[in-house]
Amino acid sequence: MKVIRAKSAGFCWGVERAIQVAREEAKGGERTVYTDGPLIHNRQMMEALGQEDIREVGDYQSNSKLNIQKQDQKEAVVVVRAHGISPQRRKYLTGLGLPFRDGTCPDVGIIAGKIKSHAEKGFDVVIFGDPKHPEVIGLVGYANGQGHVISNETDLGNLPDFKGGVVMVSQSTMFTNEFKKLSGILSEKYPDLIIFDTICGATKERQSDLVQLVEEGADVIVVIGGKHSANTKKLAKLASSYDKPTYHIETAEDLDSEIFKSFNCAGVTAGASTPEFIIRSVCKKLESF
């Protein structure tokens, strides 16, 4: 089977940076690194990082109290993952009395800065994203009680009537076309709406590269990434919209040769938290079919 791999498949720079921060702090296992929730949404990579004593504590949404074992002999440090956290969560983590490193993706930090500066000026802030996603939960914390999360047109219609200025941003990993559509609708009601397209470049590139796979002749799409990874699930959804059979898998072990018998060319892409060694193994197995 012929395999076409998307150029953007795999770690985005924000995830690479967060992993680098955690590994720098771990010093090859000399120190214990506690990440506030999973550092990345990939079970296999988290297991690999565990060999360097990088441990996930807390929960996916960074809401729970951290259970850090004080009896550990090694020095410990707390690391914030790429999704970022709210100011309230930051205050809690820095209050634990352990060294603290921030692995927040700079792109997410820019969104937080835009929200904070406009909220302080009295603007209501509309955030396009998943209200249960840790990035969005963190961003809402910067809105000073004036944040409103929307995911679709229904949510848009349920927004309160704003009396002052309104600004709209997006979670960094959303669909560009959906953001343009919803921001356009909101601007009809609020002509002075300030719109910041905060969908990150890596996400846009990943989405456009998927279209390229289809144009290059892929008759089946394989999307690699954690089952709970938001950006991976969006990639799979986008691939399905092109009427191509789409399979969201985590590793090469999920591939069934019988399923791929009727296909000649597989297009392969991967979410922002998928390590290179998994992508290579999937491509190799597909080529063997």
Q: Is CATH 3.40.1010.20 correct for 107-195?
A: yes
pLDDT tens track for 199-236: 999 999 998 999 899 999 999 999 999 888 888 888 89
187 pairs with which residues across the strands? Answer: none
The Cα angle at residue 241 between residues 152 and 11, in degrees rounded to 5: 85
Quick: pLDDT tens for 91-117.
999 999 899 999 999 999 999 999 999
Q: What is the pLDDT of residue 231?
A: 83
Give the residue numbers annotated as catalytic, written as ranges.
Answer: 135
Q: What is the pLDDT of residue 228?
A: 80
Closest by Cα among 145, 125, 133 to 195: 125
Whole-model pTM? 0.90
Whole-number pLDDT of residue 72: 58
Structure tokens at 276: 């290179």
Question: What are the backbone angles phi and psi of residue 211, rounded to the nearest 5°?
Answer: -60, -40
* Same-fold call for 2-10+201-288 versus 107-195: yes
CA dist 248 and 242 (Å) reads 15
Provide mean pLDDT across the span 40-45.
84
Quote the CA–CA distance of 246 and 160 in Å, as a whole number. Answer: 39
Whether the pLDDT of residue 189 is over 60: the answer is yes
CATH code for the structural domain at 2-10+201-288: 3.40.1010.20
Q: What is the pLDDT of residue 130?
A: 95
Whether the per-residue pLDDT at 195 is higher than 70: the answer is: yes
Domain 13-103 has CATH 3.40.50.11270: yes
Q: How many CB atoms lie within 10 A of CB 240?
A: 14
Reported as a pLDDT band with limits 50, 70 and 90, residue 42 is: confident
**288: number of Cβ within 10 Å:** 11
Give the pLDDT mean for 119-132.
97
Taking the domains of the chain in order of start, what are their residue ranges?
Answer: 2-10+201-288, 13-103, 107-195
Instruction: Check residue 129 and give its pLDDT.
Output: 97
Mean confidence (pLDDT) of the chain: 93
Average pLDDT estimate for 131-154: 97
Q: Is 60 exceeded by the pLDDT of residue 71? A: no
Residue 196 has pLDDT above 70, yes or no: yes
